[in-house]
Amino acid sequence: MLRIETLFNQQLKQWIEEVVELCQPNRVHFCNGSELEAASLCKEMVKNGTFIPLNDEKRPNSFLARSNPKDVARVEDRTFICSKTKEEAGPTNHWADPNEMKETLTKLFRGCMRGRTLYVIPYSMGPLGSSISHIGIEITDSPYIVVNMRIMTRMGEDVLAILEDGPFIKGLHSVGSPLKIGEKDVPWPCRPEETRIVHFPEERSIWSFGSGYGGNALLGKKCFALRIASRMGRDDGWMAEHMLILGLTNPEGRKKYIAAAFPSACGKTNLAMMQSVLPGWSIETVGDDIAWMKFADNGRLYAINPESGFFGVAPGTSEESNPNAMVTCSRNSIFTNVALTPDQDIWWEGMTKETPPLLTNWLGQKWSPDSPNPAAHPNSRFTAPANQCPVMDSNWEDPEGVPISALIFGGRRSTTTPLVFEALDWNHGVLMGCMVNSEKTAAATGKVGELRHDPFAMLPFCGYNMGDYFAHWLYMGTKTTPDKLPRIYSVNWFRKGEDHEFLWPGFGQNVRILKWIFERIDGKGKGEETPIGILPSQAALDLSGLNLHKNAMASLLKVSKEEWLQEIKGARKYFSLFGPHLPQEISDQCTRIERRLQG
């Protein structure tokens, strides 16, 4: 067993000693990432009531966890960017003075691990040894977090060998529930009234207290991979983005890689794992949530998926919407806050057309379709290893990354935004990313249909002033020649007709849009320039075998002068939030579109 005094990295050794002194755990365990270790922790959690083992014939080596009902999702109002100044954090982040926050956190963490084990988790975000990857160390008192981090990252002693005496991202997490001598633990310890998810960008560190939920406590995920990494990317000239990565192969066997950013409820994971309806065209997955991207010496932009698993939203995932995801979570998976069937399998809304009888809901109570609340929590999750996905790309763990040919931005819009259009150049494409907005759904707070601005789908995840983030995107476009930059596209699968029904069937049919993008990059796809960008002509899209409503394509590709002038007006109003941090080029791009519209 590894011990603190044997650590080669003196900075790591000192930090662990400081945390042990502050948190006062009963014991320290260095995680090696082995199957034996994971099995032992799962067995311990079954004994404690944290895990319910699932039917081993139906879902081998898989478990269900039920959280405290007050600890079910990311807590944006308790998530802080504690940069040195409030201006550095910007108007879209919650800021607190870093010194004052450190004082608060130190009081909360003092003695918080009494009666518990302190786990040291060494992990790599991205393939071990990749020049795009980075190493983190998470300290936690939650075995639930350990087994999830084992799925979501490359975790174990091999990481320490790579780290040697180099830098790493510090992540300190506690559920905030110390145990007295002889006190019995609860299945899901947490302290929701004191929860804080705090990022110190200059220190490259994260402190998370009081929550056991994945998005708040799996510190490699949103905390490191986006909030801290976005700041690292700005400082060091690369990009950490809330993007899926897929490989698209044509019938001749040529492949292009595409990265795409979508706000929540816009089908991101479904697109990443999509089954093509067009003969000869296939899609493979590199990642479904996060992309780290750097320019290589050849001038091309290369991307890795820094994660090694999927932390997917369960409700709505089915054989119809995402069959590949269903295969992925068929074994060796952890389910949180889903329903349980009488034969110890899991279920959630939308999983099957028929609702199984005699379900137990996510709260552990008997449930029927007549119950007022859903059986699975709307934010219930599955954690599954990426290497179990049947369509993982053969290059998904290539340390060099995959070359990105196109970037896509999308949102849920019933009007205004066409099915697809291409940016005129990089800076115009950056404006398209800045202008991403999406209609709220019933699952979100606020009025259904109301627009929520979510630039680059990064609103909750940008670790610094978003005006400066826009400028970083513009700067990245100067790091290579225009011909080597990825082309940028906007898509909208959600446009509706006068009958308020969707005009486009979505799901596997979306490959038709990706095919046009592929052909555009090859210089073969036909496009027509409009004031907002380049749209396909109806003849340019492959609609073979697709029965659309009459005039559907005309509506899907419509560009309304009046609607777009209002769109630009709304964007300018939103951009005013950023004051002098808004790059002048973004305002100039808005002006150019207005002039083209007014013709």
Task: State yes or no: pLDDT of 193 exceeds 70.
Answer: yes
Q: Side chain identity at 556, as an amino acid letter?
A: L
Confidence of residue 448 (pLDDT cuts 50, 70, 90): low
pLDDT in tens, 471-499: 999 999 999 999 999 999 999 999 999 89
pLDDT for the residue 441? 59
* Run of H or E residues at 7: none
pLDDT in tens, 148-171: 999 999 999 999 999 989 999 999
Domains along the sequence of the chain with CATH: 4-30+73-236 (3.40.449.10), 240-305+396-598 (3.90.228.20), 310-388 (2.170.8.10)
Confidence of residue 445 (pLDDT cuts 50, 70, 90): very low
Whole-number Å distance between alpha carbons of 116 and 53:
23
Confidence of residue 442 (pLDDT cuts 50, 70, 90): very low
Please answer whether residues 309 and 389 qualify as being in contact, where contact means their C-beta atoms are separated by less than 8 angstroms. Answer: no
Please answer whether residues 130 and 113 qualify as being in contact, where contact means their C-beta atoms are separated by less than 8 angstroms. Answer: no
Whole-number Å distance between alpha carbons of 198 and 384:
27
With a CB cutoff of 8 Å and minimum separation 6, the contacts of 498 are none
pLDDT for the residue 538? 81
Beta strands 346-347; 334-336: pairing state: unpaired
The SS3 assignment for 535 reads strand
pLDDT for the residue 447? 57
Please answer whether residues 450 and 509 qualify as being in contact, where contact means their C-beta atoms are separated by less than 8 angstroms. Answer: no
pLDDT in tens, 329-356: 999 999 999 999 999 999 999 999 999 9
Whole-number Å distance between alpha carbons of 64 and 469:
39
The strand pairing partners of 488, in sequence order, are 407
Write the Ramachandran bin of 33: left for phi over 0, alpha for psi from -120 to 50, otherwise beta.
Answer: left
Please answer whether residues 461 and 230 qualify as being in contact, where contact means their C-beta atoms are separated by less than 8 angstroms. Answer: yes
Whole-number Å distance between alpha carbons of 300 and 294:
8
Task: State yes or no: pLDDT of 208 exceeds 70.
Answer: yes
Whole-number Å distance between alpha carbons of 530 and 527:
9
pTM for the whole thing?
A: 0.96
Q: Side chain identity at 393, as an amino acid letter?
A: D
pLDDT in tens, 356-412: 999 999 999 999 999 999 999 999 999 999 999 999 999 999 999 999 999 999 999
pLDDT for the residue 267? 85
Q: Which residue has the tokens 């084990």?
A: 117
Average pLDDT score over residue span 118-145: 97
Task: State yes or no: pLDDT of 211 exceeds 70.
Answer: yes
**Rounded percentage of the chain residues whose pLDDT exceeds 90:** 92
| Other CB atoms within 10 Å distance of the CB of residue 574 | 15
Confidence of residue 5 (pLDDT cuts 50, 70, 90): confident
Torsion angle of the four alpha carbons 575, 581, 584, 590, in this order, in degrees rounded to the nearest 10:
-10
pLDDT for the residue 443? 43
Average pLDDT score over residue span 519-534: 97
Task: State yes or no: pLDDT of 219 exceeds 80.
Answer: yes
Whole-number Å distance between alpha carbons of 434 and 432:
5
Q: For residue 506, with 0-12 CB atoms within 10 Å meaning exposed, 13-18 middle and 19 or more buried, which class applies? A: middle
Length, in residues, of the chain: 599
* Run of H or E residues at 595: helix 584-598
With a CB cutoff of 8 Å and minimum separation 6, the contacts of 402 are 245, 247, 257, 286, 302, 303, 304, 393, 395, 396
Task: State yes or no: pLDDT of 62 exceeds 90.
Answer: yes
Task: State yes or no: pLDDT of 549 exceeds 90.
Answer: no
Average pLDDT score over residue span 121-146: 97
b/e code 284-301 from CB counts within 10 Å (16+ = b):
bbbbbbbbbbbbeeeebb
When comparing pLDDT for 442 and 37, which is higher?
37
Please answer whether residues 383 and 148 qualify as being in contact, where contact means their C-beta atoms are separated by less than 8 angstroms. Answer: yes
Q: Side chain identity at 219, as an amino acid letter?
A: L
Q: Which one of the listed residues 31, 82, 112, 266 is annotated catalytic?
A: 266
Distance, CA of 417 to chain centre: 24
Whole-number Å distance between alpha carbons of 312 and 511:
22
pLDDT for the residue 113? 98
Task: State yes or no: pLDDT of 281 exceeds 90.
Answer: yes
Average pLDDT score over residue span 440-455: 68
Average pLDDT score over residue span 183-201: 97
Mean pLDDT of the chain: 95
Average pLDDT score over residue span 50-77: 96
pLDDT for the residue 444? 44
Catalytic site residue 266?
yes
